[in-house]
């Protein structure tokens, strides 16, 4: 039997500092490959490899598609690419976003679980929303080990909190103890692996290839009345926990991330309507000014319409303010009803 030789780590807000500390305490003879997804802007190259390299005794670099997985190496997901893997090679994919993110933590964790099963150690660090929770469930279903940063120790506790709430986490640790736990666990023999659940492998393949034919959409789960905020296609509810949705194009969301995406879409639509109403009010007022003095009734009607448009824009702005307050409310329960 081999040791636990695949370590996958996910972080979001507050993650750069947390990763500097964690990676900086991993030993130079670590008998495992380390894969890291830190949520980054898709529009600019990530500086994380150079930041971590200054603190690490292990070689750190941005992952390259097709390179062999090397023991004792740290691979960082590049901007706007999912970091995944097969049995022997690193893979990069520009497949559909998951939870609105590319790279996605869930996507990395699921690929590791599908291809390396009980040899995997998953780690969820600081971050908002819930990326990583579904991937951690996949790791556990495939026989791997789950570690979450202690939420009281995390700068942003939402991600570790959700992983702890939804899964049988093996270790909940403050940041300064996680590297030591990884070092110890990677030197242990991995137990026999259970079979890979078909849904875990199917979703890993979607991320790897970026394709999922529409005639197989029934395999995603039960159809819903919701539409994908990324592409507009219908969403299917994926069985199991956390409560998740995926479209046949491949976009995927937890319930909370779907609500967040819908809120963004509603706000964009409202601001578009406000802009149009402001322009309408201005055009109506200009038209009123252009009407000859002999047609005062027409000018008054145009001014009244202009005022109505301005009032409607103000109502929509109040709606946006209300929506923001609602978004600050309690978290959505990701467990299926």
CA-wise closest residue to 201 among 86, 69, 89? 86
| d(C-alpha 249, C-alpha 231), whole Å | 8
CB 191 within 8 A of CB 168: no
Kindly name the residue from 25, 39, 116, 248 that is annotated as catalytic.
39
| d(C-alpha 165, C-alpha 243), whole Å | 13
Q: Is 79 a catalytic residue?
A: no
What number of other Cβ atoms are within 10 A of residue 223's Cβ?
Answer: 12
Kindly name the residue from 80, 106, 131, 167 that is annotated as catalytic.
131
Listed in order, strand segments (DSSP E) in 27-85 are 33-38, 60-62, 74-76, 82-85
Instruction: State the burial class of residue 171 (Cβ atoms within 10 Å of its Cβ: 0-12, 13-18, 19+).
Output: middle
| d(C-alpha 299, C-alpha 207), whole Å | 60
Q: Is 251 a catalytic residue?
A: no
What number of other Cβ atoms are within 10 A of residue 289's Cβ?
Answer: 10
Local structure of 108: helix, strand or coil: helix
Cα separation values, 242 from 99, 105, 248, 290, Å: 13, 14, 19, 60
Q: What is the dihedral of CA 327, 330, 331, 334, to 10 degrees?
A: -120
Q: Is 12 a catalytic residue?
A: yes
43: tokens are: 């529009």
Question: Catalytic residue numbers?
Answer: 12, 39, 131
């Amino acid at each position: 039997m081999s040791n636990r030789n695949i370590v996958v780590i996910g972080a979001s807000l507050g993650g750069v500092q947390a990763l500097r500390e964690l990676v900086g305490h991993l030993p130079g003879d670590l008998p495992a490959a380390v894969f890291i997804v830190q949520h980054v802007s898709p529009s600019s190259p990530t500086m994380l490899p150079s930041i971590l390299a200054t603190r690490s005794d292990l070689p750190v670099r941005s992952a390259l598609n097709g390179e062999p997985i090397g023991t004792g190496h740290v691979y960082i997901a590049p901007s706007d690419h999912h970091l995944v893997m097969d049995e022997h090679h690193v893979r990069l994919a520009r497949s559909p976003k998951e939870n609105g993110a590319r790279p996605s933590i869930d996507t990395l964790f699921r690929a590791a679980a599908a291809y390396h099963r009980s040899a995997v150690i998953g780690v969820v660090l600081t971050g908002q929303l819930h990326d990583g929770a579904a991937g951690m469930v996949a790791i556990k279903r495939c026989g791997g080990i789950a570690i979450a940063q202690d939420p009281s120790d995390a700068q942003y506790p939402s991600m570790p909190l959700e992983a702890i709430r939804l899964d049988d986490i093996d270790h909940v640790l403050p940041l300064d103890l996680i590297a030591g736990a990884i070092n110890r666990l990677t030197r242990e023999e991995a137990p026999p692996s259970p079979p890979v659940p078909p849904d875990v492998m199917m979703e890993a393949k979607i991320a790897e290839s970026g394709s999922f034919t529409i005639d197989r959409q029934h395999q995603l789960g039960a159809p819903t009345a919701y539409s994908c905020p990324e592409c507009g296609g219908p969403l299917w509810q994926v069985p199991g926990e956390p409560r998740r949705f995926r479209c046949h194009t491949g976009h995927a969301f937890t319930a909370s991330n779907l609500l967040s995406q819908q809120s963004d879409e509603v706000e964009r639509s409202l601001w578009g309507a406000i802009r149009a109403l402001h322009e309408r009010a201005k055009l109506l007022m200009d038209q009123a000014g252009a009407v000859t003095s002999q047609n005062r009734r027409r000018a008054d009607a145009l001014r009244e319409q202009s005022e109505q448009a301005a009032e409607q824009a103000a109502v929509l702005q109040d709606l946006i303010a209300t929506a923001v307050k609602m978004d600050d409310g309690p978290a959505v329960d990701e467990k299926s009803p």
